[in-house]
Amino acid sequence: MNKSNTLSQQASRYIRLVTLAAITTVSSNYAIAQKVEHSAPAGNGIYEAVISNVDGHIYVTGAGNRTNPGGALYKINPSNLSIVDSISLKENPPFGIGINQKTQLAYTSNTRTSSVSVIDLKTGKLVTTITNGEEKSHTREVLVDEDNNMIYITDVGKPGNIWVIDGNTNTYSHSIPNTGQTTTGLTFAGSKDIIYVTNMGDNTIGVIDVNKRELIKSFPSGGESPVNITSDGEHLFVTNQKSGTLTILDKEGKLLKSIETGDGAIGIAYDPVENRLYSANRQTGTTTVLDAKTYEILADLPTGSHPNHVKVNPETGEAYVLNKAKGGRPVEGEPVKVDTNGDTITKIN
């Protein structure tokens, strides 16, 4: 064997070793980042969460259930997931939640009482509860514009509409009507003048001009029953509950990718630290982790009975999944069934 062939073989062997090392390192990093670190009880009838950038705690809404009615906002330690405090909201049990990090005011959607509550996280006190004058309103998802101190809440109706609350006075300002059929989720995608909403009833994404106070455009979500939506500023990420898919679209409505994540895909979150996506799949009991650049599925993690909501700490990239308990009406003469895998919070790190 001549010298040039020997050098060529050595070079090839070196390249293979370097490539293998790089693959191993990447795989190792993914493995570390995509594991269930810990799960713990999070309250009674939990739904959604926010993370305060002041005290670092997770605040989880609990609306109670048939066997244990009530309502509260639970304060959870992000390290060990222990409940360190709670704020009673029995008069208006909370479901959805948003936070203004500048004022440290949290806004909860109270579906059963057609209202929105304002809670001061600094004092742990209820500030006020807001209604819009209508007898029935299905308040659901909350979106906060911190720059202008405006709060937007979807009101699931036929057609849907959006409440607008003035955060300076914490009063109902007006509604944006006719946003689509069964409007559920909403997000900004860069500009705070435009809101993108999911319309479950007609499988569309609605584009809302908040200054004109109207729907200016709509386009297909790429799946069935689009329920929640988020964005990285350039793309729209949509969970489609009936088709069990995560769809990625540009802001003009072009479908870029459709990915099967699991039955009952509902919760969606974007991680700006690691550029990842999380889809909580309620019927499969899993949370899917994806690369937000390649859209490759990195992991499917078991996260409780009914994964319902995902919240990502934008500073650390840590993800927290809220898992609802399995429901069912009590049967007379039979013991109450307790779902030990429900009403929990799961940390992914």
**Which pLDDT does position 207 carry in this prediction?**
98
Whole-angstrom Cα Rg for the chain: 22
- pLDDT band at residue 134 using 50, 70 and 90 as cut-offs: confident
- pLDDT band at residue 157 using 50, 70 and 90 as cut-offs: confident
Task: Identify whether 21 is part of a domain.
Answer: no
Residue 94 has pLDDT above 60, yes or no: yes
Which residues in 277-300 are b (16+ Cβ under 10 Å) and which e?
A: bbbbbbebbbbbbbebeeeebbbb
- pLDDT band at residue 338 using 50, 70 and 90 as cut-offs: confident
Q: Residue 268 — φ and ψ, nearest 5°?
A: -140, 140
Average pLDDT over residues 71-90: 97
Average pLDDT over residues 90-113: 97
Task: Show the domain range for 127.
Answer: 36-328+341-348
Q: Taking all residues of the chain, what is their mean pLDDT, rounded to a whole number? A: 90
- pLDDT band at residue 308 using 50, 70 and 90 as cut-offs: very high
State how many domains the chain has.
1
Pick from 162, 150, 141: which is nearest to 229 by CA? 141
Residue type, 133: G
Task: Identify whether 27 is part of a domain.
Answer: no
Task: Identify whether 241 is part of a domain.
Answer: yes
Task: Identify whether 25 is part of a domain.
Answer: no
Task: Identify whether 229 is part of a domain.
Answer: yes
Task: Identify whether 26 is part of a domain.
Answer: no
Count Cβ atoms below 10 Å from residue 322 Cβ, excluding itself.
Answer: 28
Comparing 59-73, 198-212, 225-239, 253-267, the range with the smallest average pLDDT is 59-73
pLDDT, tens only, 252-294? 999 999 999 999 999 999 999 999 999 999 999 999 999 999 9
User: CA 115 to CA 8: how far, in whole Å?
Assistant: 73
Residue 158 has pLDDT above 90, yes or no: no
Tokens of 6: 């020997």
**Which pLDDT does position 328 carry in this prediction?**
54
Find the helix or strand (DSSP H, E) in which 19 lies: helix 3-33
Task: Identify whether 143 is part of a domain.
Answer: yes
| CATH assignment of the domain containing 70 | 2.130.10.10
- pLDDT band at residue 340 using 50, 70 and 90 as cut-offs: confident
Task: Identify whether 290 is part of a domain.
Answer: yes
Residue 15 has pLDDT above 50, yes or no: no
